[in-house]
Amino acid sequence: MPQLLYSVFLPSLAIAQTAEEPSESNEAFDVRTFEPPKRVEVKTPRYPRAYLVQGREGWVTMSMMIDPEGKPYDVTVTNSSDDLRFEEAAVKAAELMRYEPALLDGVPIDSGTSFRITFELQGGEVGAGTKFVSRYRRLIKAISDNEHEVAKERVELLEKMDRNLYEEAYFQMGLFRFARQWGDETQQYDALVRAAFFDKGRSFLSEAASLQVLQLKLNLELKHGNLAAALATAKSLLEREVSLETKGQIERVQTEVAEILDGDQQLVAKGWIRRDNYYNHSLSRNSFALTSVEGDVAEIRLHCDKGYVGFNHQEGVEYTVHEDWDACRLIVIGDPGTTFNVAEG
């Protein structure tokens, strides 16, 4: 398997904050009973026929709403191995699934949930094939030699290959290395998220590479204020075998992030729309605004535990989420490459 050739250091925690006075806390205690939706009928997605022959594998993660009848709607791809055919097959399968609807005080309601489909061939090759390893090594050499055009050509060759899940993870690491040399941090982060994919507790990278990917991912989440994701990444790191020193660093990060999320100060996270026209972010506050927008944002959707709304974006407007909806995922739709800040009050 290809080896990674760089070291990782966890930075001290830094997030964007405002100089505003903290607003008065207005806590409310919800004693109403809530039962989340339960999947009762799973539809096996149709594996793209050409990919069966080619041995291509992939994965798709989706966010969706479940109506009071138990039917999914507004199924949205939140991440994937970046293959349109797999995404289309996964969304079609998700739309046909059936759930027991969420209940609030025994009454069925609209509710949000997430679901992931892994496209993996039984009896397929485990590990990376010789052809892939050869091309991957040539890509890493071109990057190390600072040969931009050569590296770009080798990325394109790898992109055209039919990749299994192991090869996909390392391909994303190659994209990360390329973006670190000639791209930006949004491209780096997207590649790291895909490289960090795991299924049923199984990573498709070596243990050392997986630790490096998670640490790099955590670095960028802290740097750009994506604190909910940072907590999840920190948890994943602590589930692995890390040194006592690294464990202490991660636990300190967890504590600091938790204190910030529990506080009243405004949170600011950098957002960008991927090439599939979507961006998603877990909200930690009940009000938010998109600021410093560069590009075009068309629509905003909220997938919440206890509610859903979708609307056209208006520049300079602060949105307030219904206080009873709980855990909301913000989905922003617009032109690929559009950047903005998500300011949560």
- The pLDDT of residue 10 is 41
DSSP assignment of 86-134 equals HHHHHHHHHHH-EEEPEEETTEEE-EEEEEEEEE--TT---S--HHHHH
Please give the structure tokens belonging to residue 109.
Answer: 């309601």
- The pLDDT of residue 323 is 86
Q: Is 267-344 in the same CATH topology as 34-119? A: no
Q: Each residue of 38-61: pLDDT tens digit? A: 999 988 999 999 999 899 999 999
**Residue extents of the structural domains in the chain:** 34-119, 130-262, 267-344
Q: Are 302 and 321 in contact (CB under 8 A)?
A: yes
- The pLDDT of residue 126 is 72
- The pLDDT of residue 6 is 29
Q: Are 332 and 277 in contact (CB under 8 A)?
A: no
Dihedral (CA of 95, 99, 105, 111) sign: negative
- The pLDDT of residue 289 is 95
- The pLDDT of residue 28 is 45
Lowest average pLDDT, out of 1-10, 71-80, 177-186, goes to 1-10
- The pLDDT of residue 15 is 32
* Average pLDDT for 238-258: 93
Q: Are 308 and 65 in contact (CB under 8 A)?
A: yes
- The pLDDT of residue 148 is 98
Q: Report whether pLDDT(80) > 90.
A: yes
- How sure is the predictor about 75, in pLDDT bands with cuts at 50, 70 and 90? very high
CATH 3.30.70 fits 267-344, yes or no: no
Amino acid residing at 186? T
- Residue whose structure tokens are 């920190």: 234
Higher pLDDT, 326 or 199: 326
Q: Each residue of 97-121: pLDDT tens digit? A: 999 999 999 999 999 999 999 999 9
Lowest average pLDDT, out of 32-36, 164-168, 169-173, goes to 32-36
Distance in Å from the first CA to the final CA of the chain:
46
- The pLDDT of residue 200 is 72
Dihedral (CA of 78, 79, 82, 88) sign: negative
CATH 1.25.40 fits 130-262, yes or no: yes
* Average pLDDT for 317-334: 93
Q: Report whether pLDDT(20) > 70.
A: no
Question: Mean pLDDT score of the chain, rounded to an integer?
Answer: 88
How far lies 40's CA from each of 70, 104, 126, in Å? Answer: 9, 19, 32
- The pLDDT of residue 2 is 34
Q: Nearest to residue 238, comparing CAs of 62, 10, 2? A: 10
Q: Each residue of 190-245: pLDDT tens digit? A: 999 999 988 777 888 989 999 999 999 999 999 999 999 999 999 999 998 889 99
Q: Report whether pLDDT(13) > 70.
A: no
User: What's the CATH code, domain 34-119?
Assistant: 3.30.2420.10
pTM confidence score: 0.85
